[in-house]
Amino acid sequence: MVPHTDVATTATATGAPLTEPTVEALAHDTEPARPIGRDAVRAALVRAATELIVERGLSISVRDIAARAGVNHGLVHTYFGSKDSLLVAAFDDINERAAAQRTPDGYPPVDLARRRNGEVARAIARVMLEGDHGVFGQHPVTTSWRDALLRDHPELSADEANEQVAIAATLGLGWALFADHFCRALGVDGDARAAADRRVAEYVHEIGGVPRADRR
């Protein structure tokens, strides 16, 4: 009986270059498994759409999304009906992840806009730049934040609470989007950058009325 010889091992041991079939086989082994089944395919498409929205904006094609998800592009229409419906599902997914990070009393963490590589901030920025506000019209985090503020501060009017949340949210989102650029341009790094991050967090706490963890 002829013993089995592993081509890759033999090539490595002898110093010979890997043969073309071996390289292809190794590449194939590292490819992620394609999603199978309705739930897995839907989740892969939503995840791919989210990644591409953040990277490129809303002008991505159905084929782009399907290729990133590792599925046939026809499945976008099978499971979502249209690209727009898939984009709405992607923004819903972003909202759900953000909402899941709220405290039990309804407030967001003050650094929410910077989490997940600034996913929320970057997605909102893409929508604002491209003018398609309809796909991302709901913001459950700011709604619950406003409601929590009114509950804990009955002296505030609804307009005052809305104003405070709008200012604090815009501050947090803007810092998440532009801080790296301007800090780099001005040489604000290391301890100085950490101090700037803390100062912005304090502003969000103060303006947005977000309780500190040690005071809840």
- What pLDDT, on the 0 to 100 scale, is given for residue 206? 97
Q: Structural domain boundaries of the chain?
A: 30-100, 104-216
Is 0.85 surpassed by the pTM of this model?
A: no
3-state SS class at 153: coil
What residues of the chain score a pLDDT lower than 50? 1-14, 16-30
- What pLDDT, on the 0 to 100 scale, is given for residue 9? 43
- What pLDDT, on the 0 to 100 scale, is given for residue 34? 86
- What pLDDT, on the 0 to 100 scale, is given for residue 134? 66
CB contact at 8 A, 75 and 41: yes
- What pLDDT, on the 0 to 100 scale, is given for residue 2? 44
Distance CA 115, CA 15 (A): 46
- Looking at 1.10.3080.10, 1.10.40.50, 1.10.10.60, 1.10.8.50, the CATH number of the domain 30-100 comes to 1.10.10.60
Measure the N-to-C terminal CA separation of the chain; round to a whole number of Å.
74
